[in-house]
Each structure stands twice: as C-alpha cells, then as structure tokens.
Structure 1
Amino acid sequence: MKLAKKIYNDEGLILLSENAELNDSLIRRLKELGLNQVYIADRLTEDVEIPEMISEETRRRAMQEIRTNFRKITESSVKGRVYPFLGKSFLKVVESILSDLSSREDVMIMMMNINSTDHYLYRHSLNVCVYTLLLGKVHGYNNDALSVLGLGALLHDIGKTKIPSSILMKPDQLTDYEFDQMKLHTEIGFKLLKDEPGVPLVAAHCALQHHERINGSGYPRGIRENEIHEYARWIAIADSYDAMTTHRIYRSALLPHQATEMLYAGCGTLYEKEKLEVFRDHVAIYPLGITVGLSTGEQGVVVRINHEVPQRPVIRVFSGPEGEMLKVPYEVNLAVKLSVVITYVEGTEPELAYV
C-alpha cells in the first residue's frame, strides 16, 4: 500500500510523502503517534480529489502560532499573565481561515484529523475553529462577528495549557479527582483571557461556557439555554464533534456518521435543534474514499458528496452481492436511488482505517 497524501509531524514537517510504501513497522509507528487513519492510493479512486477545508499553508501557519503561543503560556510562571500579542497573533490565524473558507464553493465539514500527528490540544483548537467558522458563515454572521466567534473557538481550550500534563496526556480514563481538575480549564481559560488586550470579552466567555449544556447539565456553572452565549453554543457542537472523531490512546475515534448520531442523541437537551440541523447539513458524514456496504449487498467507495443531501453520497460500486469484484465498477447516486441505503462503514473497528 502507498500513501495518497503526505503525513505531517507535530512540528508541521513532512513525516512521510505521497507514494511512500507502508509496511508493518511504519503502520505500527503511525499508531504509536496517534494516527489511526490515512489516505491510500487506489486505482479505483485515483480520480477522486479529497478537498481540504483550509490550505496546507494556512494550516501550517496556524499550527505554528498555536504551538508557539500555547507553549509560552504553559511555560509562563507569572500567574494570569498571557503572551501580550495573543489577540493580534490569533486574529491573523482566524482571518486566514476565513479567507480560505470564503474561497471554496460549497465547503463541507471534512475530517481534519487524517495525516497529521499534531499534539491533540493544538490540533483540536484549530479544528474546532475551522468547524465553528464554517457554521457561523452558513448561519449568516458578518465578518466582525465571525472574527470574534473564531477567536472564541480557537482559544476555547486555552485553559488546558495550565492543566498538569500528567492529567492532560493521561493514557487511561481519568479518575473522578482528575476529571474535576480537568474541568477547571474552563474557568482558567476565562481568567487568562478576560483582561487580555486584543481578545474580546465574549471570547473569554466562550472559554468559560463551551461545556455548558442547554438543559443545565454542563459545567462550570450549570447554566441553561439562552444563559449560555450563542457563540459558546456553536462551539459546543464543534468541540464535541471533533473530540469524538479524534483517536485517543484510551478509545478509538468515531467516524463522522457515528459522531453525528451521538450529537443528535443530545438534540434538545444538550444542544440546540436548530444549530444541530445546520451542522448536519454541512458535514460530510461519509468521508470521500471510505468503503461502505449497501442494502443491495454490494460494496463501494464514496466518490462524491451531494451538498444538498450530504447523507446521500455518490458511491462507486466495485463488488457485487456475493462479494465478487466487478469487471467494470459503476456509480450509484443515493440522492436519486432512494431505495438503496448505506448499511455499514468499514473502519469502525479500533484499527488503522484506510480511507
């Protein structure tokens, strides 16, 4: 098997290039680095382009800013003092992401955790920012509002820079005490940001409130519905989705369709129905290149997303009901062929999934 896309390390440098041939040793090393999904070159899908939500250059610069500034905060011994140019630095990141999203037609929420071994906190912060900004654009916020929303999303977990690494990076489930310590990141984040020049107070409230839930079951204050700032309610959805679709040492990542179902389990109790509907209509729940089984017994690969109905993609069928390989694969558009449904997705097992 050969890679179809580059793999980057946690410094943004290329770890493996396209066409690198995988072997057991490399696969084992990739798993150790926390990478559980890669793109594999395949003649059946060599014509399928996997679009990126943001450019490689934007991602590289964003990750560099996040790493540099978050590390400075982690290492800072002055209580409550944040790097003084934090707002200015991260506003440039938000503007770059907005520019990329605006330049792409019909952009969808695609998986951003493939082909990168970045530190979880840094990668998660960027992903949540990108997802949230897309949702905000679709919702209709103006550029000024999007800038504040984007800063709130990018910095929502900044309080985790002050959580002991023994808890933050623990490979097992947290104890009750450790979880209580982890939950303090919301209040720590608020304190870090509330007086920071160039960071709107609303962004600080996003750090404080992104774990609140509309039925009052969240933390740190257990507030409900409109008591939670609207931006924090958007971030809550993006934050939960990215956390569920990211591989962790103590649990495997969910695929997008599974994570979306989990989010909808909290519809009207944890998350707002209207916001979830916006999310559902703009997430590619069946990623391009992933193998799926159909109700006809056939197997195929997702080769195109229908933007009007992303839950019903175009499938390139390569094997018949008896598992026989077809001499000539053909495509079925599930948005048209309504009698056919996806019955399973390969890669849901806790192994390295090839998509």
Structure 2
Amino acid sequence: MRLVETSLSLSSTYLGKAIYNNKGQILLNEGVQLDTRLLQRLIGMNIHYIYIQDNKTEDLKLHYPISMKLRRKAITSIQKHFDEFESNRQFSNVLVLEKAAKSLIKIIREIQAEIKDSQDLLALLSDVYTYDHYIFTHSLNVTMYSLAIGMKLNLRDYELETLGLGAILHDVGKVKIPEEILMKPERLTDEEFFQVKKHTVEGFELLRNIPSVTLIAAHCAYQHHERLNGSGYPRGIKANEIHPFGKIIAVADVFDAVTSNRIYRQAMLPHEGLEILYSGSGTLYDQKTIEVFRQAVAVYPIGITVVLNDGRKGVVCKQNIGLSDRPVVRVLEENGIEVDPYEIDLKTLLDVMITACDTTFKKS
C-alpha cells in the first residue's frame, strides 16, 4: 500500500488502511472502493493523507507503536480524567484527582512496556484517525514520543514514569480554555492567544496540588512552551533554567502539533515536521533532544513515495533502527521510466539520499 494525498482523482482506487475515530472505532474499512462522495467526505473531515492499495506494494505491513486495545483504553482514560480535573478545579476533592493521576500512571506503564517491546521506529502515521477532540489524542501522541526519547536517553524506569505523566498531562490546563477558542479555524486574536497561553499556569497549579504527581511532572505542564532563547512562555526562562523533561516534551509537542490534522491547517509529513524542529535547533529546541528524537521516529513512514538524488523513485518498505532517514526503498522508477521493482538499502548506499517525497499517485 502507499501513503498518498487524499484527492478526488483517487476515485476507483481502494482504501489500503482503515480509518478510525479517536476512540478506535472504524469509520471506513480497509478495501472499500473510493468514489468522489467518500473522498469529499474524507477531505471534509480534514484527512489529507490516506493509504491506498497498490499491487506493487501490497505486501507492505504497517504497525502502530501500541496495540489498538491500549490506544482506545488510553484515549478513554485521558478524556475521563481530564473531565475529572475540570470538575474538581477548586481542589475540593483531592482524592478524586489523586485517583485519576494514579490511573494515568498505570496507563503510562503499559504504554512504556509496549513501546519498549517494539522493534520498530515510532510511526504514528501507520493508521489514519479523525479526532472528535484533538487534545486527548495529542496528549497520547506526545506521551509516546516523549517516552521514545527518554528510552533513547537511557532514562531509568522511575524517570520515564515521571516524564510520561508530565507528557500525558502537559495540556491539562486547556480544560479551562473555552472550546470555541481551542477549535477556532481562523487566526487567534491577541486576547484569545493570551487566554490559550494561560493553560501552562493553569495546568501547573492543578498538578502541583495532587500528591502522586511529582513537582517535576507538574513543571512539564508549566515549561513545555518555554524556549532556549527565552522567547517562550509563561515565564520566558532560558536554556538550563528549563528542566530536561520540559525540553523533551517541547520537541514532542511541536512535532505532533505540526504533523497532526488540525481544524485550521493541513498536517505536515514527518520529515517536514523534523525540518521545523531543526530550524529552531539550539535557539528554540534542545539540539541533542532533536537528534535523539530523529533516531526514534520514522521520518519517512512505510508506504511513502520518495525521490532519490540519482533520479530514482520508490516507496519506503522497511525502516532501519536508529537511522530513520536511511530506510530501505523499493525502486519503481528510474528517471521517470517504470522498472521492475527492486530494493535498495540506504544504510549501505551512503552516496544515495532522499531529496523529496511525492504523495501524488498515478494509476498504472
């Protein structure tokens, strides 16, 4: 199967991977023949990339970093406990908040275990989702990215648990932001952006009063929008004033924000999201964290068509652990001419590199 842009010109092709809602329920099943009506519906749901069936890549297998069962459980748990945090905003029932935090810690341990057991690079594009509420899916994705970075940095289990809790709750302060601001499709006014920025302080004030949430985890909510050069918020602190976990979550947060479907813009592909991070490396985001993240995440997900510097074009068919920008590519064209498919490993062909991605699709 191939990852391509959702386009009305894909009519009469077949869906290669099911599309789910954020609770893991199938909205459109694998194998469904696409027509203009379905494609318009997908575009209307802000799904800009889909997997389609293709006889040259039909053997490719896609893997989500955690099981669908755990994903559904995590999303449901995050939503439930965020609602509890909101309803107990005045800290009138600390026991309720404490119970919610402990429940989320158990979820983090399960996520940590499944990511640790996986031999694949982290690839969140392997399934396509629509989102009823972005904040819950975003919190899960940021947690997975942050844990993947932490594991690459050889953090201890208790440190990963703290990092994971800080990540899963980093946006909890947004429960106090009006939904019409969070979901606004147009550019925010200065006053609206001022309201949004309050979520860092709101989250910190909530979390620091919960006994099972460490102060470091609470500071993850406080600091994930701080930047190395002091241009972030809410306090404008710099460099070493920012906790290492705050730096990790900042990278995970930005990457997921730009590579996820949002109501006000199209998602970027992973390599484009990584370019955003590198453009701020050393000034906005920690350089070492970005480098480690690059080793952990699939920059070019399986099924995406890539263009090579020698004129060849092919589809990524396998990842190389630790070398996310050097995957195995199934070559399908040479200088615009179709050839019998064959595979090359960019890990060993150091003079060959990916220069672009092509998400259009020509029916053969």
TM-score using structure 1 length: 0.92
Is the 2:225–2:234 Cα contact (8 Å) retained in structure 1? yes
Is the 1:304–1:314 Cα contact (8 Å) retained in structure 2? yes
Counterpart pick for 1:36 among 39, 42, 48: 48
Instruction: Give the counterpart letter for 1:79 in structure 2.
Output: Q
Q: Does 1:324 align with 2:333?
A: no
1:235 alignment counterpart = 249
Is the 1:313–1:335 Cα contact (8 Å) retained in structure 2? yes
Q: Which moved more, 1:236-245 or 1:248-257?
A: 248-257
Distance 1:78 1:208, change over 3 A: closer
Structure 1 residue 153: deviation in Å? 0.3
Is the 1:159–1:187 Cα contact (8 Å) retained in structure 2? yes
Is the 1:37–1:114 Cα contact (8 Å) retained in structure 2? no
Is the 2:224–2:249 Cα contact (8 Å) retained in structure 1? yes
2:130 alignment counterpart = 117
Instruction: Give the counterpart letter for 2:74 in structure 1.
Output: A
Distance 1:268 1:104, change over 3 A: same
Distance 1:78 1:236, change over 3 A: closer
Distance 1:92 1:77, change over 3 A: closer
Instruction: Give the counterpart letter for 1:310 in structure 2.
Output: S
Distance 1:276 1:11, change over 3 A: closer
What is the distance in 2 between the residues matched to 1:77 and 1:100? 32
Q: Does 1:153 align with 2:167?
A: yes
What is the distance in 2 between the residues matched to 1:36 and 1:16? 15
Partner of 2:350, secondary structure, is: coil
What is the distance in 1 between the residues matched to 2:126 and 2:350? 31
Structure 1 residue 70: deviation in Å? 2.1
Structure 1 residue 78: deviation in Å? 4.8
Structure 1 residue 113: deviation in Å? 7.8
Is the 2:24–2:68 Cα contact (8 Å) retained in structure 1? no
1:270 alignment counterpart = 284
1:245 alignment counterpart = 259
Partner of 1:299, secondary structure, is: strand
**What are structure 1's unaligned runs of at least 5 residues?**
none
Partner of 1:43, secondary structure, is: coil
1:23 alignment counterpart = 35
Is the 2:302–2:317 Cα contact (8 Å) retained in structure 1? yes
Structure 1 residue 161: deviation in Å? 1.1
Counterpart pick for 1:220 among 206, 231, 234: 234
Structure 1 residue 174: deviation in Å? 1.0
What is the distance in 2 between the residues matched to 1:263 and 1:8? 28
Q: Does 1:295 align with 2:341?
A: no
2:4 alignment counterpart = none
What is the distance in 2 between the residues matched to 1:335 and 1:141? 27
Partner of 2:307, secondary structure, is: strand
Q: Displaced runs of 4+ in structure 1, greater than 6 A?
A: none
Structure 1 vs Structure 2: percent identity of aligned residues? 46
**Cα RMSD for the two superposed structures:** 1.9
**What are structure 2's unaligned runs of at least 5 residues?**
1-12
Q: Residues 61-76 of structure 1 correspond to what in structure 2 (within 5 A)?
A: 61-74=73-86, 76=87
Structure 1 residue 184: deviation in Å? 0.5
Structure 1 residue 138: deviation in Å? 1.2
Instruction: Give the counterpart letter for 1:30 in structure 2.
Output: L
1:344 alignment counterpart = 356
Structure 1 residue 197: deviation in Å? 3.4
